Amino acid sequence: MALHSMRKTRGCWSFIRALHKGPEAALPPQKDAVRRVFSGIQPTGIPHLGNYLGAIESWVSLQDEPGSVLYSIVDLHSITVPQDPAVLRQSVLDMTAALLACGISPEKSTLFQQSQVAEHTQLSWILTCMVRLPRLQHLHQWKAKTARQKHDGTVGLLTYPVLQAADILLYKSTHVPVGEDQVQHMELVQDLARGFNKKYGEFFPEPKSILTSMKKVKSLRDPSAKMSKSDPDRLATVRITDSPEEIVQKFRKAVTDFTSEVTYDPAARPGVSNLVAIHSAVSGLPVEEVVRQSAGVDTARYKLLVADAVIEKFAPIKSELEKLKLDKDHIEKVLQAGSAKAKELAYPVCQEVKKLVGLL
């Protein structure tokens, strides 16, 4: 859970109006019984195969379930590491375009830019004052990141799980789609909701995790590591914008083993099993059926079959993305409208929190 400041644009009257609405225009707090899904993604370049199968695909299907859905481009999370301002601005637009191309619909969900709704940081500070330092220091991701960065880890990197909690609780979200690596952070969210309710009275629902069915997609070059945008090996990661030739090359170079048979055994054969899992996910077939259909096919040929399946899956997305990138105004308007809708939901909740803790 799991994911940018944007220049001011013309014609954003609805966003400005939402920013300046006073208490008289505030909506009543969200009823806890209403199902509300929230998730976020950092704007760190074009999504890759792991992002799509691990999160975005399920986001698309969740739009058709009862209740409301909010998806946020969480640009404030991205600045826990150094960012080039111009690149960051463009990355917000690129990620928005990619989500739209993948099937996120502004008619079915609220797609917005986190930093344009100031209540996220306001609630984050209030929650930060409720959590003990050792709790954050014991989170696995903090330990892993600081181990890599030595003494360069920032306070933002330490406290971003609290901002993540604020992102979720601000909308009184009831469900959050997460990967396995975010389960510990969801426990923090639930603890903060319980702690706030115990101190100030029942207010926040305790959000439940929706675990994605697809396990982590592994690097094509190192099946012990997850697929990552930041992998220095360009052959390790398949992006949704890759050409068919690039996709074929990457799968052809995928690390497997010396056994030519196609089987699924993640512990003993992680490389081939990663290919089978990808094939299953993009084709919609169970793993067992994928293996059955691949009987008699050696791994060299199988790599090309998986590449073809990924190319077919990404073709319509890639085509739509190319069209969207030609219409920057449309992308900006989607973000402005989404941020205004999110603001209308966030403002009354944050105001009530301020009253409960004595700030109003």
Q: What angle do CA 45, 19, 156 make, to 5 degrees?
A: 45
CA dihedral (94, 97, 103, 108) positive or negative: positive
* Structural contact between residues 89 and 4, judged by C-beta atoms closer than 8 angstroms: yes
Cβ atoms of 240 and 48 within 8 Å: the answer is: yes
- Strand ranges for the chain from DSSP E: 36-41, 68-73, 110-113, 175-178, 208-211
- Residues annotated as catalytic are 145, 226, 229
Residues 6 or more apart from 338 whose CB is under 8 A from it?
106, 110, 111, 112, 113
**Is residue 47 within 8 Å of residue 102, measured between CB atoms?**
yes
Kindly state the tokens that stand for 121.
């940081």
Are the CB atoms for 275 and 238 separated by under 8 Å?
no
Q: How are beta strands 175-178 and 208-211 bridged, if at all? A: parallel
CA dist., res. 254 & res. 43, Å (int): 27
CA distance 243 to 250: 11
Burial bucket for residue 358 (CB in 10 Å: 0-12, 13-18, 19+) = exposed
What is the C-alpha separation between 178 and 2, in angstroms, rounded?
Answer: 7
Burial of residue 61 (CB within 10 Å: 0-12, 13-18, 19+) is exposed
